[in-house]
Structure 1
Amino acid sequence: MATAIHSYRQALAYIQGYPAYTPGQTGNWSLERLQGLLARLGSPEKKFLSLLIAGTKGKGSTAAISESILRSAHYQTGLYTSPYLHSFRESIRLDGEPIAEAEFLNVLRELRSYFETTAGLTAFELTTALALFTFAHLGVDIAVLEVGLGGRLDATNVVAPTVAVITPISYDHIQVLGQTLTAIATEKAGIVRDGALVISAPQVDEARRVIEQVCLERQAKLILVDRDWQWQPGRSVLDGQTFTICEQIYHLPLLGNHQITNAVTALAALAGLKERAGVEITNQAITHGLASVTWPGRLELLQRRPYVILDSAMNGDSAEKLAGALVHYFGQRPVTFIFGASHDHAVVDMLRVLLPLSERMMMTASTHRRAEQPENLVAMADELGYTADSASSPSLALDQVLATATADTIICVAGSLFLVAEIREAWLRRNGLKLPPLDPKDLY
């Protein structure tokens, strides 16, 4: 007899009992298993409009901005993103709020027998099915779905989206997606269906050519944001930034010029929803949705004097965007970095970008199973000609850099969302602030 699931913690343990996707572990991958499961559940993925967002960086921000505007337009929204920052429930949001523990438990219990009669199911497939069923069951109007990894074979690609979105593509997960941008872009463009409407953020030429070719082959309409939309960046300070489209000025609290690009990509996607499904969004809703969006851990300013900034940069391209933002906001002032990364990410590429900006580099490791060990990170810095310190935990790293900081010190945490989460939690504890719900960081 199966063990009963009585609590939220037991539910998390149940999910952890399913395998995570690991290259070489899953054999010949396909979506057929999840498609079959969803068919048995009544095809919940067909019961709402959807945006499906693939890409390397900016997926989550673009998803969060899109959802915030849709919610401001009074649509009932679902938002599915990964990985989460503090709590698994953040992955499945309903009208902007993490799914309630009671609702999560109820849905998991209802679907458990279906999960257990689906051979080979992974944890991410399970949570994707759970999210789609929840959105359908609770009657959301529009779901915004972030692709987990790649696109073509990602669990979210069981959804035929109303609009497909591809954010900037760069090198990441090369062991899974391929060694070239062409190979990676081909996987990301796997979300494009025949006759689809596709929104592409600005891309490097190699990735753009792949997207254009896939859309041509599938007779999909392609909107290139940097070709078909015009915008002008405005004032940009640590309190937020503005940009202008068609003489309308919008305020965005998210920092970094790349977030304006994400916002324009989101606006293009929402225009696509109007074109394909008649979704009406007023300028008032756009203004409010942009001004009220939150997406913690992405160029997030935690405090001033000393400055503490969190960013989830996790490859060379995103490290360059972070470096550009630091120079924009602080000029040529040197930065103290707290750095940690997953061993399967482009660690050396990030260090090449960030080390020249640093006056001190503190290496550490999150508790996630994929975290690179601090001593290995120190060795990588040494090979690049730089000296780095190390700390055995993120909280200790934060304590050590704050102990020697002055009011003018700039502390930047980067390299991994898992590291950002643990530093954020340590900072909240240190300042006596309320902690969000906390879950293990490695459910899948």
Structure 2
Amino acid sequence: SEKEIKPRYPDSLDEYYAFLELLGNPQEGLRGFHIAGTKGKGSTAYILSEILKSQGYRVGLFLSPHIFDIRERIQINGEWIGEADFARHMEKIKPYVRARGWRSVFEILTTMAFLHFKEKEVDFCVFEVGLGGRLDATNVIRVEDGIITSISLDHTHVLGDTVEEIAREKCGIIKEGMRIISQPQRRSVERIIRKMVREKKAGVYFLGEEIPFEVVRASLNGTEFYFADRKYTVSLIGRHQALNVGVALASADMAGVVEDEEKIEEALKNLSFPGRFQILKDDPLIIADGAHNVDSARRLKETVEEVLGENVSLIYGSLRRKDVRGILGVLKDIAKEIYFVPVNSPRSHTPEHLKEEAVLLGISGEVCETLERALSFASRNPPVLITGSLYLCAEAVKLFSAPPVPGRP
């Protein structure tokens, strides 16, 4: 897997810059947006690309991780990179990997995105940071606009043990003269962002402070909010999704690319992003959400309480290096029963381990060897919520719908 192949986090981007130089610096000349944060950056990147697309632009989108197919990480106007283009770019990159020695899977995919977007002459590209910001492979791009989504604890073994340390790494995307849009942050994080913006002679605008913003309500039909005194409805469910839309709208507006507000409103009503409070079945109600840290678990709990108004049968699976105890400590308050399942990954916790962690919190639950078996039990007592990992959500989506058409997410 990608995580097993990548043995270390780089000390600098110098080696990667040298590698890109051999390929003619494909990252140069790309116009677009760079998005960092702990939670919501994937949703925000997708939303921003849809906003730009609604205005008639040709938009390259780079996301991670993938859910169904590695090619979905590199998209243009919603279409995945084709198999032939993927193979051709890989053949071009391969000799340079051999010449320079080891390169991570993420760096190779990032390079492929640069090559593909440049070749296809996109108007804008939207890059989601893979991990951190300062030393992430995507941070070699030079764009005018950046977004920082909610910052909280995650990947502490790499990025630091405190939210403030993590914020400094995320703020590594801030470069001289950039326009930065940020979601609301805890005060200590906001201070760090404002300080780094001043140092880089950049500009920063916070949702709810410099940018007027207010969430009205979330329901199973979507989420309503006011942005700069205009009311919007987005099909994505949850107040946190309104925040993601808010920063995407603000960034597009600041970049001067918004021409037709009505087309944006129409696009926002038709968004669909897998594994984000996604309704898989109406009767019985089955929902999948990729919450995998404590902060996202809190947001998920708030969404369940507001949108459903009742407790759920919880199906939970997790990868290693996640704060299982912290997450279960939050989700137990909305669970009427819990089923522990494996995730389809070599890095999965066993259901038995998850149950042991739960017992330490005084939580009881059942071990199931497969997601299907857990669903057979949980479906008798709906609503059902599948959570803990985007990879688990991917398994769930495949159970309830046909695999996506190649080329479209």
Q: TM-score range by the shorter chain?
A: over 0.9
Residue 111 of structure 1 and its aligned partner are, at CA, apart by 2.4
Residue 17 of structure 1 and its aligned partner are, at CA, apart by 8.9
Distance in structure 1 (CA, Å) of the matches to 2:17 and 2:316: 39
Matched, 1:370 2:355: no
Residue 19 of structure 1 and its aligned partner are, at CA, apart by 6.2
Matched, 1:411 2:378: no
Aligned counterpart for 1:299 among listed residues 268, 277, 285: 277
The answer for the alignment partner of 1:118 in structure 2 is: 100
Matched, 1:308 2:286: yes
Matched, 1:348 2:348: no
Superposed CA deviations along residues 134-186 of structure 1, whole A, max 9, x for unmatched, are 00111011000000110011111111222111100000011110001110000
Residue 242 of structure 1 and its aligned partner are, at CA, apart by 2.2
Distance in structure 2 (CA, Å) of the matches to 1:190 and 1:152: 4
Distance in structure 1 (CA, Å) of the matches to 2:405 and 2:90: 19
The answer for the alignment partner of 1:442 in structure 2 is: none
Distance in structure 1 (CA, Å) of the matches to 2:25 and 2:259: 28
What is the letter of the counterpart of residue 37 of structure 2? G
Distance in structure 1 (CA, Å) of the matches to 2:96 and 2:376: 47
Matched, 1:20 2:5: yes
What is the letter of the counterpart of residue 384 of structure 2? I
1:286/1:395 CA distance change after superposition, 3 Å: same
Is contact 1:339-1:363 (8 Å) kept? yes
Is contact 1:365-1:392 (8 Å) kept? yes
Aligned counterpart for 2:373 among listed residues 396, 405, 415: 396
Is contact 1:299-1:310 (8 Å) kept? yes
The answer for the alignment partner of 1:322 in structure 2 is: 300
Aligned counterpart for 1:258 among listed residues 203, 216, 240: 240
The answer for the alignment partner of 1:13 in structure 2 is: none
Q: Which runs of 5+ in 1 are unaligned?
A: 1-15, 429-433, 439-444
RMSD: 1.8
Judge which range, 253-262 or 233-242, deviates more.
233-242
The answer for the alignment partner of 1:435 in structure 2 is: 403
Q: Number of paired residues?
A: 406
The answer for the alignment partner of 2:14 in structure 1 is: 32
Distance in structure 1 (CA, Å) of the matches to 2:17 and 2:371: 40
1:354/1:235 CA distance change after superposition, 3 Å: closer
**TM-score normalised by the chain length of structure 1:** 0.88
**TM-score normalised by the chain length of structure 2:** 0.95
1:247/1:186 CA distance change after superposition, 3 Å: closer
The answer for the alignment partner of 2:38 in structure 1 is: 56
Matched, 1:43 2:28: no
Is contact 2:184-2:208 (8 Å) kept? yes
Distance in structure 2 (CA, Å) of the matches to 1:246 and 1:183: 32
What is the letter of the counterpart of residue 419 of structure 1? L
Superposed CA deviations along residues 26-68 of structure 1, whole A, max 9, x for unmatched, are 5x52211221222222222122211110000010111111000
Distance in structure 2 (CA, Å) of the matches to 1:65 and 1:369: 31
What is the letter of the counterpart of residue 85 of structure 2? E
Is contact 2:60-2:122 (8 Å) kept? yes
Judge which range, 308-317 or 232-241, deviates more.
232-241
1:368/1:189 CA distance change after superposition, 3 Å: same
Residue 70 of structure 1 and its aligned partner are, at CA, apart by 0.4
Is contact 2:208-2:214 (8 Å) kept? no
Q: Percent identical across equivalent pairs?
A: 33
Query: 1:228-307 residue pairs with structure 2 within 5 A?
Result: 228-274=210-256, 279-307=257-285
Residue 290 of structure 1 and its aligned partner are, at CA, apart by 1.4
Residue 372 of structure 1 and its aligned partner are, at CA, apart by 1.2
Distance in structure 1 (CA, Å) of the matches to 2:3 and 2:285: 41
Q: Which runs of 5+ in 2 are unaligned?
A: none
Aligned counterpart for 1:420 among listed residues 380, 384, 393: 393
Matched, 1:381 2:352: no
The answer for the alignment partner of 2:201 in structure 1 is: 219
